[in-house]
């Protein structure tokens, strides 16, 4: 029986008093599992990922990461949780003053790793996501799909415990989206828990995974 990586207990969330996004949701995310999050535009997929990643505190309820309650952990210790998570943002959030190579290497750099120990890995990963020609370019000079692949490379480079990916294939063609899915699948085989919010039915059909569907301010889970 797999351990629980993340637990949501009676979570409510609203951005304004006029509209609930989540109305009492509880679930367990199992370590090493693979999940898709589905739901119509505006249902709350990005909000859900932000709550899971400890970057958004729900209006009420508890989120536990490896048993640690995010409500009670001191603010200055949250980075210890965030360090275990690779987040692919829907809007990429690459740093404009860093090159593609520097953006992808950033999670390693902030962990005080030495460049001589990671340079080869970063270049290899850039090659793998077909970005070798962009390594020294700044994000503003990349196409949408290239920025998306750079954001994915940055999220996976440090082999985090959990990957949260928000529409990671929204800007790439079919071949690249298959490649991205196989990258996540390989990481999952090595033990990383993967959670992907997507509208992309073909992505979902290519992978056996549990589905968390967000609708009517609640969730429905279909286990694989």
Ligand X SMILES: Nc1ncnc2c1ncn2[C@@H]1O[C@H](COP(=O)(O)OP(=O)(O)OP(=O)(O)O)[C@@H](O)[C@H]1O
Give the residues lining the site for ligand X (CB under 6 A).
15, 21, 39, 41-47, 90
Among 25, 29, 44, 46, binds Mg ion (CB under 5 A): 46
Q: Given the rule CB under 5 A, which of 46-54, 122-130, 185-193, 214-222 is the region that contacts Mg ion?
A: 46-54
Distance in Å, CB of 50 to ligand X, minimum: 8
Smallest distance from ligand X to CB 128, Å: 27
Please name which of 23, 12, 60, 16 lies closest in space to residue 218, comparing C-alpha atoms: 23
Stretch that binds Mg ion, among 45-53, 109-117, 152-160, 203-211 (CB under 5 A): 45-53
Residues numbered 60 to 119 that lie near Mg ion (CB under 5 A) are 90
- Considering CB distances under 5 to 8 angstroms, the limit depending on partner class, which of Mg ion, ligand X, none binds residue 41? ligand X
Task: Provide the β-strand partners of residue 213.
Answer: 38, 220
Judged by CB, which is closer to Mg ion: 46, or 169? Answer: 46
Q: Which two tokens stand for residue 221?
A: 């889970």
Quickly tell me which residue has 């210790």 as its tokens. 77
Min separation Cβ 25 and ligand X, Å: 13
């Amino acid at each position: 029986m797999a351990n629980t990586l993340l637990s949501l207990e009676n979570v409510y969330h609203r951005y304004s008093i006029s509209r609930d996004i989540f109305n009492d949701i509880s679930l367990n995310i199992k370590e090493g599992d693979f999940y898709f999050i589905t739901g119509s535009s505006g249902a709350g997929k990005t909000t859900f990922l932000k709550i899971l990643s400890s970057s958004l505190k729900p209006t009420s309820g508890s989120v536990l990461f490896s048993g640690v309650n995010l409500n009670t952990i001191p603010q200055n210790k949250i980075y210890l949780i965030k360090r275990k998570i690779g987040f692919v943002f829907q809007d990429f959030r690459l740093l404009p003053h860093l090159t593609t190579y520097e953006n992808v290497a950033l999670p390693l750099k902030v962990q005080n790793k030495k460049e001589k120990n990671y340079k080869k890995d970063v270049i290899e990963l850039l090659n793998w996501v077909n970005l070798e020609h962009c390594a020294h370019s700044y994000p503003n000079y990349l196409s949408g799909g290239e920025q998306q692949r750079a954001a994915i490379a940055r999220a996976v480079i440090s082999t985090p415990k959990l990957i949260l990916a928000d529409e990671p294939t929204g800007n790439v063609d079919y071949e690249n989206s298959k490649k991205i899915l196989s990258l996540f699948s390989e990481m999952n085989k090595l033990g990383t828990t993967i959670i992907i919010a997507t509208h992309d039915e073909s992505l979902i059909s290519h992978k056996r995974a549990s589905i968390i569907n967000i609708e009517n301010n609640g969730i429905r889970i279909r286990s694989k």
